[in-house]
Structure 1
Amino acid sequence: MELKKKITIGILAHVDAGKTTCIESMLYKSHTIKKAGRVDHRDSALDYDGQERERKITIYAKQTRFAWKENEIFVIDTPGHIDFSTEMERSLQVLDAAILLINAQDGVQSHTETIWNCLQRYKIPTWVFVNKMDISFQSRQDLMADLERRLSANCIDMEEEGREEKLAMVNDELLTHYTEDGTLPLSLLQEALCRREWFPVYFGSALKHEGIEALLDSITTYTLETSYPKEFGARVFKINEEGIAFIKMTGGTLSPKEVVEGEKIDQIRAYQGEKYTLVQQASAGDIVGLKGAPSLRIGQGLGFENDQKESLLNACLEYELLLPEGVDAVTIWPFCEKLAKSDPGLELAYHERSKTISLSLMGEVQKEVLQRRIEEGTGIRVGFTQGKVLFKETIASQSYGVGHFEPLRHYAEVHVVLDPLPAGSGIQIVNENKIENLSLGWQQQILNALRYAHKGVLTGAPVTDIKIRFIAAKGNLKHTSAQDFAQAARRAVRHALRKTKSVLLEPYADFEIRTPTTSLSRVLYELDQNKAEFAIGDSDEEMSVITGKGAVRLFMNFQSSLYAISKGRGRFTMRSIAYAPSPEQESLVEQAGYDPDADLRHPTGSVFCAQGSGYFVPWDEVEEHMHLHPLETHNETTYRSVRFKVGDEEARRVFEMQSGRNQKEKQVQPKKKVKADLSFEEVKIEPRKPTCLIVDGYNMIYSWASLKELARVDYDSARERLLDAISNYQGYKDIEAYVVFDAYRRKESVGRNAHRGKMNIVFTKYGQTADAYIEKLVHDLKKKYTLIVATSDGLIQNSILAQGATRLSARELESRVMRTNQIAFEHLK
Structure 2
Amino acid sequence: MKKTIGILAHVDAGKTTFSEQLLYHTKSIRQRGRVDHQNAFLDSHAIEKNRGITIFADQAYFSFNGSTYFLIDTPGHVDFSPEMERSVQVMDYAIIIVSAVDGIEGHTETVWQLLQKHKIPVFFFINKTDRESADAATVLQEIRSHLSVDACTITESYRAGTMTEELIEFIAERDEALFTRYLETGYDEELWMKAFQRMIAANQIFPCASGSALQDTGIQEFLMQLDGLTFSSYSDSEEFGAQIYKIRHDENGNRICFLKAFSGTLQVRDKLTYGPNDLEEKVTQIRVYSGDKFHTVEQARAGELFAIAGLSEAAIGDTLGVRQKSFNSQMMPTLKSTVLFDSAVHVKEVLGSFKILGAEDPSLSVYWDEYFQQIQIQVMGAIQLEVLEQVVFERFGHKVQFGEPEILYKETIELPVMGYGHFEPLRHYAEVHLEIEPGERGSGFQLDNVCHADALSVGHQNLILHHLTERDHHGLLTGSPLTDVKVTLTTGRGHNQHTSGGDFREAAFRALRQGLEQAQNRLLEPMYRFKIKVDLEQMGKVLSDIQQAYGSFQAPETKDGKTTIEGRVPVATFMNYSSEFAAFTHGKGALSLLFDGYDFCHNEDEVIARIGYAKDADPLYTSTSIFCAKGQGYKVPWEKAEKAMHCL
- In structure 1, the residue matched to 2:77 is 81
**How far did residue 246 of structure 1 move?**
2.1
| Counterpart in the other structure of 1:526 | 545
CA contact (8 A) 2:80 2:384 kept: yes
Quote the Cα distance in structure 2 between the aligned partners of 1:175 and 1:451: 58
Would you say the 8 A contact 1:429–1:447 is kept in 2? Answer: no
Q: Does 1:111 align with 2:107?
A: yes
Contact 2:527 2:599 in 1 (8 A): no
Change in 2 beyond 3 A, CA 1:245/1:447? farther
Deviations 1:464-491 (A, max 9, x none): 4456678899999999999888777766
Q: Which residue of 2 aligns with 1:344?
A: 362
State the secondary structure of the residue aligned to 1:244.
Answer: strand
CA distance in 2, matches of 1:401, 1:106: 56
Whole-Å separation in 2 of the counterparts to 1:113 and 1:570:
17
Residue number in structure 2 paired with 1:677: none
Q: What's the counterpart of residue 174 of structure 2? A: 170
Q: 2:288 matched to which residue of 1? A: 270
Q: Could you say which residue in structure 2 is the equivalent of 1:601?
A: 620
- 1:246-265 map, 5 Å: 246-255=258-267, 256=269, 258-261=271-274, 262-265=279-282
1:244 equivalent in alignment to 2:240: no
Q: Please report the TM-score for the alignment, with normalisation by the length of structure 2.
A: 0.80
The 8 Å contact of residues 435 and 472 in structure 1, kept in 2 or not, is answered as no
Instruction: Describe how 1:133-282 pairs up with structure 2 within 5 A.
Output: 133-135=129-131, 137-158=133-154, 159-160=156-157, 161=164, 162-182=166-186, 185-186=192-193, 188-207=195-214, 208=216, 210-212=218-220, 214-215=222-223, 217-219=225-227, 221-223=229-231, 225-226=233-234, 230-242=238-250, 243-255=255-267, 256=269, 258-261=271-274, 262-265=279-282, 266-282=284-300
* CA distance in structure 1 between the partners assigned to 2:93 and 2:421 by the alignment: 45
Q: Do 1:312 and 1:578's aligned partners in 2 also have CA atoms closer than 8 Å?
A: no
Match of 2:40 in 1: 44
Is there any run of 5+ residues in structure 1 with no aligned partner, and where? 631-829
Partners of 1:268 and 1:399 in 2: CA distance? 52
3-state SS of paired residue (1:454):
coil
Which of 596, 600, 613 does residue 582 from structure 1 map onto?
Answer: 600
Contact 2:196 2:229 in 1 (8 A): no
Q: Given that residues 104 and 136 in structure 1 are in contact (C-alpha distance below 8 angstroms), is that contact kept between their aligned partners in structure 2?
A: no
Q: How does 1:320-469 map to 2 (within 5 A)?
A: 320-323=338-341, 332-396=350-414, 421-427=439-445, 447=466, 450=469, 452-466=471-485
Looking at structure 2, the residues matched to 272 and 476 of structure 1 have their Cα atoms a distance apart, in angstroms, of: 59
Give the aligned partner of residue 698 of structure 1.
none
Cα 1:103/1:590, change in 2 over 3 Å: closer
Distance 1:493 1:218, change over 3 A: farther
Instruction: Say which structure, 1 or 2, has more relative contact order (CA 8 Å, 6+ apart).
Output: 2
Cα deviation, residue 574, structure 1: 5.1
In structure 1, the partner of 2:160 is none
The alpha-carbon deviation at position 13 of structure 1 amounts to 0.6
The separation in 1 between residues aligned to 2:536 and 2:90, in whole angstroms, is 44
CA contact (8 A) 1:511 1:572 kept: no
Deviation readout 1:402-444 (Å, 9 max, x if unpaired)? 7777888989888876665543444566798976997999959
Which one is further off, 120-129 or 47-56? Answer: 120-129
Q: TM-score, normalised to structure 1's length?
A: 0.64
What secondary structure sits across from 1:99 in the alignment? strand
1:13 aligns with 2:6: no
- Computing the radius of gyration over CA atoms, which structure comes out larger, 1 or 2? 1
Deviation at 1:170, TM superposition (A): 1.9
Deviation at 1:152, TM superposition (A): 0.7
2:534–2:585 CA contact under 8 A, matched in 1: no
**Matched length:** 623
Separation (CA, whole Å) in 1 of partners of 2:247 and 2:432: 31
Q: What is the letter of the counterpart of residue 238 of structure 1? A: K
1:172 Cα deviation (Å)?
3.7
User: Is residue 22–residue 223 contact of structure 2 (8 Å, CA) maintained in 1?
Assistant: no
1:304 deviation in Å?
Answer: 5.3
Q: Which runs of 5+ in 2 are unaligned?
A: 158-163
1:548 to 1:204, Cα distance in 2 relative to 1, 3 A: same
How many angstroms apart in 2 are the aligned matches of 1:84 and 1:577? 14
Listed one character per residue, the Cα deviations across residues 665-694 of structure 1 (whole Å, up to 9, x for unaligned) are xxxxxxxxxxxxxxxxxxxxxxxxxxxxxx
Pairing of 1:341-740 with structure 2 (within 5 A): 341-396=359-414, 421-427=439-445, 447=466, 450=469, 452-466=471-485, 501-512=520-531, 521-534=540-553, 536=556, 547-559=566-578, 562=581, 566=584, 573=591, 575-582=593-600, 584=602, 587-588=605-606, 590-591=608-609, 592-603=611-622
Residue in 2 that maps onto 1:825: none
Do 1:191 and 1:224's aligned partners in 2 also have CA atoms closer than 8 Å?
no
* Contact 2:414–2:521 under 8 Å retained in 1: yes
| Displacement of 1:118 | 1.0
- The offset of 1:209, in angstroms, is 6.6
Separation in structure 2 between the aligned mates of residue 213 and residue 227 of structure 1, nearest angstrom: 30
What is the root-mean-square deviation in Å for CA atoms of aligned residues?
Answer: 4.4
Q: Which amino acid is the alignment partner of residue 295 of structure 1?
A: E
Contact 1:190 1:224 in 2 (8 A): no
> Helix, strand or coil for the counterpart of 1:133?
coil
Q: Contact conserved, 1:249 with 1:285, CA < 8 A, in 2? A: yes
Aligned-partner SS, 1:85: helix
**2:121 is matched with which residue?**
125
Aligned partner of 2:261: which letter? Answer: M
Q: Contact conserved, 1:504 with 1:585, CA < 8 A, in 2?
A: no
Post-superposition shift, 1:451? 5.7
Worse-matched range after superposition: 68-77 or 323-332: 323-332
- List per-residue Cα deviations over 1:339-386 (Å, max 9, x = no partner): 222222223333334333332222232121112123334544433333
Say if 1:416 and 1:469, in contact at 8 Å, map to a contact too. yes
Q: Is the 8 A contact 2:89 2:327 kept in 1?
A: no
Deviation at 1:560, TM superposition (A): 6.1
Q: Indicate the larger mover: 52-61 or 580-589.
A: 580-589
Q: Distance in 2 between matches of 1:300 and 1:607?
A: 40
Distance 1:155 1:282 in 2: 36
Contact 1:450 1:486 in 2 (8 A): no
| Offset, 1:551 | 1.4
- Whether contact under 8 Å (2:419, 2:514) holds in the other structure is yes
Shift of 1:36: 3.3
* Aligned residue number for residue 304 of structure 2: 286
Q: Give the secondary-structure state (helix, strand or coil) at the position aligned to 2:84.
A: helix
State the distance in 2 between where 1:295 and 1:26 align: 36
Give the conservation status (yes or no) of the 8 Å contact 2:536–2:558. Answer: no
More displaced stretch, 356-365 vs 494-503:
494-503
Change (3 A) 1:563 1:102: closer
Q: 1:100 aligns with which of 85, 96, 101?
A: 96
The aligned amino acid for 1:508 is: M
CA distance in 2, matches of 1:426, 1:139: 45
Evaluate the alpha carbon distance shift between residue 40 and residue 441 of structure 1 in structure 2; reply closer, same or farther with a 3 A threshold.
farther
2:620 counterpart letter in structure 1: R
Give the alignment partner of residue 25 of structure 2, picking from 25, 29, 50. Answer: 29
Shift of the 164–517 alpha-carbon distance from structure 1 to 2, 3 Å rule, reads: closer
Deviation at 1:157, TM superposition (A): 1.2
2:308 match: secondary structure: strand
